[in-house]
Amino acid sequence: MADLDPILNDIDADLDNALERLFTFLRIPSISTDPAFATHCREAAAWLEGTLTALGFETTVEETSLHPVVLASAPKPGTPHLLFYGHYDVQPVDPLDQWETPPFEPRIATDANGAKRIVGRGASDDKGQVMTFIEACRAWKAMAGELPCGVTILIEGAEENGSQGLPEWVAANRDRLGADIVLVCDTSMWNPSTPAITTSLRGLAYFEVKVTCASRDLHSGFFGGAARNPIHVLSKIIADLHDAEGRVTLPGFYEGVREPPEDLLAQWRGLDLSAEKFLGPIGLKEPAGERGRMIIEQVQSRPACDVNGIIGGYTGEGTKTVIASTASAKVSFRLVDDQDPQVLARTFEAFVRERVPADCKVEVITYKGSRAIALPFDMPELAIAKGALAEEWGVPPVTVGAGGSIPIVGDFKRLLDRNTLLIGFGLDDDRIHAPNEKYELASFHKGTRSWARILAAFGAAGKL
């Protein structure tokens, strides 16, 4: 587009100023999970309010049950309307002694290959990603005087705390969140030169299992061999969750699981993601999932079960000959397609209780779950975004699934009846949630240019 050139040129020329604005945002220690930082979360919300108001958005800061949300709107009748979501809160910085420089003093670093990167807590998750969209809007406003389509921006402050309060706020404000499509910038590219659009998210079901046998801890010399050991009982339950082929053994577990279309499988085969490439960097080499499946299937389109923690007996230094009275485990399931976490909860509890001896007790605690999300492959909004990304990066974007879960995306579908395009510019090595978090300067710069193109493409598409 010829009229897009001034927008992209402005983004290039204003990069240093954009970085200064991002650094101001990154300096605010908006840690949502620690009440000691609640004031800083409000500071971050206020900073966003001022920034977006200055760009011409009608902006408010509104309360939730935890930290406030920022809502900014710039309608443009007769054009598609986009709802952009992100979050201003960040993870805690522990362990602090592993940071090379203070986490809330952002800086530009240069890696061994000469590439520049932004280092600081929130650089990639999610302040840097949020600012790519805001800076794209800034360039459009500066050079064209208006955005090419209608835009609403919703930035929350409790994503790292399970989005506490946000679903209730969205439900109460449906009429203010009307949009043709939701956009999220909180995911990754396929690699540093290939963009990606996440078209599916696995759902989540999470449980805690507590097995109690004897009424108290026992001396293993007096009772060993005669008294039931809850760690043994729990271990048997865990072992029974998978068969020798890596499949989950719960009755009916795979009901509702669909095979990916052949053209998507062909695309995944072409990516050549081997077990060595995927597992090698973390010191592993043998896939543990279902046999006969590509590793990309195992982490994106297939369900999975994992034990996230086991507690029981003596775990201190040295020895203690004891048979514990209780043992517990935390177990999670990643769900796909039409798998229902409520149905799974009933099946899992029955599975556990069948394996607990009559003179022992078991408690199964069910935590809030979420269903999987998948976009239709033929939706026009996906084609629009893919075309814009291909123009910027020179290669077509990869459409992938994400093994993790973002519950608010499901809430957008459930409460607003809108699909979500997840377009992020992070990289897998950005060290999010870890010390020395970083965001490649190229990700920030080209991510901003990408959003400028996506805005232009939706504006040119006419009413969807």
Q: What is the CATH number of the domain that holds 250?
A: 3.30.70.360
- Judged by phi (left if over 0) then psi (alpha if -120 to 50, else beta), residue 85 lies in beta
Using an 8 Å Cβ cutoff, are 392 and 451 in contact?
no
In a domain, 269, yes or no: no
**Within a domain: 95:** yes
**E strand or H helix at 169, and its extent?**
helix 166-172
pLDDT score recorded for residue 1: 45
Task: With CA atoms as reference, report the closest residue to 419 among 369, 460, 381.
Answer: 381
Q: Is the pLDDT of residue 464 over 80?
A: no
Residue 150 has pLDDT above 50, yes or no: yes
DSSP-derived pairing of the beta strands 420-423 and 181-184: parallel
Identify the CA nearest to 108 among candidates 444, 446, 464, 459.
444
Mean pLDDT (the chain) is: 95
Encoded amino acid at 159, one letter: E
422 and 444 co-located in one domain: yes
CA 138 – CA 10 distance, rounded (Å): 9
Domain boundary residue among 370, 388, 418?
370
- Asked if 64 contacts 164 with a C-beta cutoff of 8 angstroms, the reply is yes
Average pLDDT over residues 299-309: 94
Instruction: Identify whether residues 123 and 223 lie together within a single domain.
Output: no
Would you say residue 295 lies in a domain?
no
What confidence score (pLDDT) does residue 174 get? 96
Query: Token pair of 29, please?
Result: 């220690």
Is pLDDT above 60 for 2? no
Do 35 and 96 fall into the same domain? yes
Give the mean pLDDT of 334-339.
93
CATH number for the domain spanning 450: value is: 3.40.630.10
Domain ends where: 323, 346, 370? 370
* pLDDT exceeds cutoff 70 at 136: yes
Question: Which residues are CB-neighbours of 23 under 8 A, at least 6 positions away?
Answer: 106, 120
**pLDDT at residue number 223:** 97
Residue 143 falls inside a structural domain: yes
Q: Contacts from 145-148 at CB under 8 Å and sequence distance 24+? A: 146/74, 146/76, 147/74, 147/76, 147/455, 147/459, 148/76, 148/79, 148/455, 148/456, 148/458, 148/459, 148/460
Question: Taking a C-beta distance cutoff of 8 angstroms, is the pair 160, 399 a contact?
Answer: no
Count of the separate structural domains present in the chain: 2
Q: How far is C-alpha 4 from the geometric centre of its chain's CA atoms?
A: 31
Percent of the chain with pLDDT over 90: 86
Question: Which residues span the domain enclosing 309?
Answer: 204-257+303-370
Residues 455 and 381 occupy one common structural domain? yes
Query: Please, is 400 exposed, middle or buried when counting C-beta atoms within 10 Å of its C-beta (0-12, 13-18, 19+)?
Result: buried
* Residue 263 is assigned to a structural domain of this protein: no
392 and 416 assigned to the same domain = yes
Say if 284 falls within a structural domain. no
354 and 388 both lie in a single domain: no
- Mean of pLDDT values over 331-347: 95
Q: Which of 326, 347, 370 is the last residue before a domain boundary?
A: 370
CA distance 121 to 219: 48
pLDDT at residue 405 tops 90: no
The answer to whether residues 157 and 11 belong to one domain is yes
Beta-sheet pairing, 203-212 with 181-184? unpaired
User: Are 355 and 216 part of one and the same domain?
Assistant: yes
Question: Picking from 81-85, 162-166, 442-446, 457-461, which range would have the lowest pLDDT averaged per residue?
Answer: 162-166
Global pTM?
Answer: 0.83
Q: 317 with 404, same domain?
A: no
Domain co-membership, 390 together with 365? no
CA 132 remoteness from chain centre: 17
Judge contact between 346 and 222, C-beta under 8 A: no
In a domain, 188, yes or no: yes
pLDDT in tens, 182-234: 999 999 999 999 999 998 889 899 999 999 999 999 999 999 999 999 999 99
Per-residue pLDDT of 108-129, as tens digits, reads 999 999 999 999 999 999 999 9
- Establish if 118 belongs to a structural domain: yes
Does residue 462 carry a pLDDT above 90? no
The rounded distance, in Å, linking the Cα atoms of 2 and 390 is 17
